[in-house]
């Protein structure tokens, strides 16, 4: 499912134009990115939470080249899906 | 940053009521959850992609209880932030 499909569904459900929904959609996700930049955490109740995590410098020895490769310090975004949205083994559902 | 703050910022930028933005916000994320349930993949251009990943059955030996614990097959949501939103070591920024 991509952005276009999401916008189409939301516009139909809310009786809004796809143009308006796209505008709000883009604004929501750019605001969330700003939130990650500034606060390092964004929480969406009922969906999940995003956290920026620091990854320390890492050294890896590459067998093929017999050299040590240095991975600089880095940050990544960790996403945790909302608790009530547990994935059951037999399928995906809500508890 | 939580949902209330995001809605406030988006409503202000778009000149919409917080009520309307909240409605669209909720609809977007419930549609995304539906997309994850049905298709196992949701991609938001410029923000990131969500994929449902299957985790096989795992057995763990717990030292303290000296028992083997079985973790049933499970699924989890993996999030990958958009490429252009690389996190630089010194801060969080766009390349």
Give the confidence band of A93 by pLDDT, cuts at 50, 70, 90.
Answer: very low
Beta-carbon separation of B74 and A89 below 8 A: yes
Residues A5 and A33 in one domain: yes
Q: Provide the total of helices (H) and of strands (E) in chain A, helices listed first.
A: 2, 5
pLDDT tens, residue order, chain B (95 aa): 999 999 999 999 999 999 999 999 999 999 999 999 899 999 998 899 999 998 888 888 989 999 998 888 888 888 998 876 665 444 444 44
Dihedral angle at the C-alpha atoms of B55, B57, B61, B66, nearest 10 degrees? 130
Query: For residue A85, is pLDDT > 80?
Result: no
- Mean residue pLDDT of chain A comes to 86
- Averaged pLDDT, A53-67: 89
The parent domain of residue A21 ranges over 1-39
**Residues linked to residue B55 through DSSP beta bridges, in sequence order:** B74
Give the confidence band of A37 by pLDDT, cuts at 50, 70, 90.
Answer: confident
- Averaged pLDDT, A23-27: 94
Residues A23 and A49 in one domain: no
Which one of A3, A27, A46 has the shortest CB-CB distance to B10? A27
Residues of A in contact with B46 (CB under 8 A): 26, 29-30
Residue A18 lies in a domain: yes
Query: For chain A, what is the largest distance between any 2 Cα atoms, rounded to a whole number of angstroms?
Result: 61
**Could you give the number of structural domains in chain A?**
2
Residue A88 lies in a domain: no
Residue A23 lies in a domain: yes
**Residues linked to residue A70 through DSSP beta bridges, in sequence order:** A59
């Amino acid at each position: 499912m991509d952005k276009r499909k999401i916008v189409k569904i939301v516009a139909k459900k809310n009786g809004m134009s796809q143009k308006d929904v796209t505008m709000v959609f883009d604004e929501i996700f750019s605001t969330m990115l700003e939130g990650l930049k500034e606060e390092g955490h964004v929480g969406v109740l009922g969906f999940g939470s995003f956290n920026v995590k620091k990854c320390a410098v890492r050294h890896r020895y590459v067998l093929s080249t017999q050299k040590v490769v240095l991975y600089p310090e880095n940050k990544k975004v960790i996403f945790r899906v909302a608790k009530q949205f547990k994935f059951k083994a037999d399928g995906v559902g809500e508890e």
